[in-house]
């Protein structure tokens, strides 16, 4: 019985591995896009504010302060 489960276990492992890689590259792409584009961060603030909050907290934990304040200042000025 162990032999018949081996191919299934390998397929499941490969599927999980591919899902993990897609997740890591997706998170990297999203972080990179948010880090380089203030307009994209504004779009994220409207559609997915919880993801933008994670971005702000992660950059603040890494020692990069002021991004949130710059964004809020620009967005407030653009409304006026």
Taking only the tens place, the pLDDT of each residue in 27-70 is: 999 999 999 999 999 999 999 999 999 999 999 999 999 999 99
What would the two tokens of residue 56 be? 């702000």
Residue 40 CB: number of other CB atoms within 10 A? 14
HEC string of the chain equals CHHHHHHHHHHHHHHHHHHHHHHHHHHHHHHHHHHHCHHHHHHHHHHCHHHHHHHHHHHHHCCCCCHHHHHHHHHHHHHC
Is residue 80 scored above 80 in pLDDT?
no
Report the candidate in 31, 77, 79 with the shortest Cα–Cα distance to residue 55: 31
pTM of the entire structure?
0.77
Taking only the tens place, the pLDDT of each residue in 1-24 is: 556 778 888 999 999 999 999 999
- Whole-angstrom CA distances from 60 to 2, 8, 31 are 49, 43, 14
């Amino acid at each position: 019985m162990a032999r018949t489960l081996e191919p299934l276990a390998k397929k499941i492992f490969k599927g999980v591995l591919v899902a993990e890689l897609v997740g890591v590259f997706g998170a990297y792409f999203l972080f990179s896009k948010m880090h380089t584009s203030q307009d994209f961060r504004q779009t994220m603030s409207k559609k997915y504010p919880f993801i933008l909050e994670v971005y702000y907290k992660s950059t603040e934990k890494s020692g990069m302060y002021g991004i949130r304040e710059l964004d809020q200042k620009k967005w407030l000025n653009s409304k006026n």
